[in-house]
Structure 1
């Protein structure tokens, strides 16, 4: 046996901890040899943490990612700031250290998303910086059948306003400085788009509120309404944003699919459901964490000191297309 498996923490079922059975075990080679087995483990547990394999460079992580995923996403139509490290490898979201990133499933604000998210710890933070994860099966149960039905039938609409020096510029989000190319992308993705003036772009897109896992068939809560809604910034900051831009032209906001407001208690119920049994993965240098993006949400705790986490998004899936 080239690897050992056990629970990382006896009180939680995931992530499953995988460690080498002997020194100097190459993780990329091991994954190439045991690819089918690892994929079965990921489907069963939803989250795998490889520790002790010394994956401590972008090149080593890229080699690992080559064995576990296909068709890496280029992260077009971006929601957060990241830096490309080459070859479809990016930094984790580069929000300020003092800002916590709430639990969410990657790209759940789109109709297409990666099924596999892989993280690699190149440099752990001096203090804090853990990645909390949460089972979407448990979160879905905590959110409850009534809200699940409401989100399934009403869906979620994401509205964004792009202006110079506010949030992400449209050139970064769409990875182009050509307005015609933006129009083509939006048309193909079913995104409403309108230039309010020469520099201000408004987009709107209705996406799923829940989704069925393509392999397990489970119906899961799957959207980012709680993350896009201005209330995620906190009451004081949210009010400042409304005062500055107006409630109808916020940099980003979420609604039900018909454009009606999502009540504050509904958003809080979602956040409570996600946070109910979150588990913090405290990073060690060289760790690799694999997440089934529909089975597990992830976030980020605040931290101090240097922290560098590399990420790949792969195995693309379309929630709105057959197959």
Structure 2
């Protein structure tokens, strides 16, 4: 039986009566049913009203880390959070050293210490499923989300199981990506994407060169204020704790086809292939076809689960086992993010 089939069986079993998770290691909480939830997601709520999430989290930090290995997506609903700074203290209770957002690929704003806004893309855009910073030299193992204000319509943060995505892909495609890896190409200074100063958090080209050399990014300074980078990263990884194989890359998101047929065609008319603001290739520099990445996107479509945020919700993810995204929304929405336990390919 494939991993995907086992997960689907687990999904069905979880939906049945009496199949709650053993929460003896997590006192004072109950499992809350969430219709259609995948096997990777555990939803818990406090037994008593007004339970403080920070205090409860500190008392159960080790147990939560243990449960996260079994249920790599955990939604805490109905707790008293106490705002963004309290959310940060909860995240620090589980992961004492939170991380700064480096090698940036999307616009975000720091709101409190190591807490950032979620990706600041226009509200009418979908953010595809992805493992956070899987394009980078280092990535967080743990992600924390806090819904301060849900939007009146849309704005979910859907999730998908990276193991199931991997199993749904054809063996041929999995093997090709595993062998060749992914090359991420970015061109800065085109006025379309983030400027390199924002991505690397410095105005000093020498600092950029030193950093890129240290983490394996090839740099090419072009005319004016333009810069091109290339980096080759894994496409398939083994989880360091569970030893399970996961689909772990952002090839589909960086690739020009992510913009949709009309926009990607327009970008290809404006820019030469090597000058596209961002694109992905196989690690040997050969093209990844639109059809291959459509297979990846279809696997995500089949496995993605979305639920509406409620004010005060906190979600914790194992970033290698579970992906996340964002649906379009209307009205005001505020979801903040923290991340921690940075890993690299050498210590994964």
Indicate the TM-score class for this superposition, using the shorter chain for normalisation: over 0.9
1:300 paired residue number? 326
Q: Distance in 2 between matches of 1:68 and 1:276?
A: 31
Query: Does the aligned pair in 2 maintain the 1:210–1:219 contact within 8 Å?
Result: yes
Which stretch of structure 1 is more off in the superposition, 14-23 or 291-300?
A: 14-23
Could you report, residue by residue, the CA deviation over 1:106-165 in whole angstroms, capped at 9, with x for unpaired residues?
A: 011123210001000011111100111001111111113222111110000001000153
Alignment partner, residue 339 of structure 2: 313
SS in 2 for 1:280: coil
Q: Match for 2:184 among 149, 158, 166?
A: 158
Q: Which of 224, 237, 244 is the equivalent residue of 1:198?
A: 224
Gaps of 5+ in 2: 1-26
Higher relative contact order (CA 8 A, sep 6+): 1
Q: Which moved more, 1:135-144 or 1:154-163?
A: 135-144
Q: Is the 8 A contact 1:206 1:257 kept in 2?
A: yes
Question: Does structure 2 conserve the Cα–Cα contact (< 8 Å) formed by 1:7 and 1:15?
Answer: no
For residues 122-161 of structure 1, the aligned pairs below 5 Å read: 122-161=148-187
Indicate conservation of the 8 Å contact 1:8/1:15, yes or no: no
- Asked if the contact 2:62/2:94 (under 8 Å) is kept, the reply is no
Aligned to 1:21: 47
**Structure 1 pair 24–167 and aligned structure 2 pair: CA distance change class (3 A):** same
1:79 and 2:108 correspond: no
- TM-aligned CA deviation for residue 281 of structure 1: 2.4
Instruction: Out of 144-153 and 213-222, give the one that drifted further.
Output: 144-153
Contact 2:181–2:232 under 8 Å retained in 1: yes
**Distance in structure 1 (CA, Å) of the matches to 2:137 and 2:247:** 14
Change (3 A) 1:251 1:10: closer
Cα displacement (A) at 1:57: 1.5
Q: 1:50 aligns with which of 65, 76, 87?
A: 76
Aligned partners of 1:55, 1:94: CA distance in 2, in Å? 23
| Aligned residue number for residue 23 of structure 2 | none
For 2:334 and 2:63, locate their aligned partners in 1 and report how far apart those are by CA, in whole Å: 29
Task: Give the structure-2-normalised TM-score.
Answer: 0.90
**Corresponding residue for residue 287 of structure 1:** 313
Q: Which structure 2 residues correspond to residues 162-177 of structure 1 after superposition, within 5 A? A: 162-163=188-189, 165-177=191-203
- Whole-Å separation in 2 of the counterparts to 1:198 and 1:86: 35
Which of 35, 38, 41 aligns to 1:9? It is 35
1:71·1:316 contact (CA, 8 Å) conserved in 2?
no
Aligned residues between the structures: 322
| Offset, 1:90 | 0.2
For 2:210 and 2:33, the matched residues in 1 are separated by 47
Separation (CA, whole Å) in 2 of partners of 1:159 and 1:70: 33
Q: Is the counterpart of residue 214 in structure 1 residue 240 in structure 2?
A: yes
4+ residue runs over 4 A deviation: none
Q: Secondary structure at the match of 1:266?
A: helix
Q: CA RMSD in A?
A: 1.3
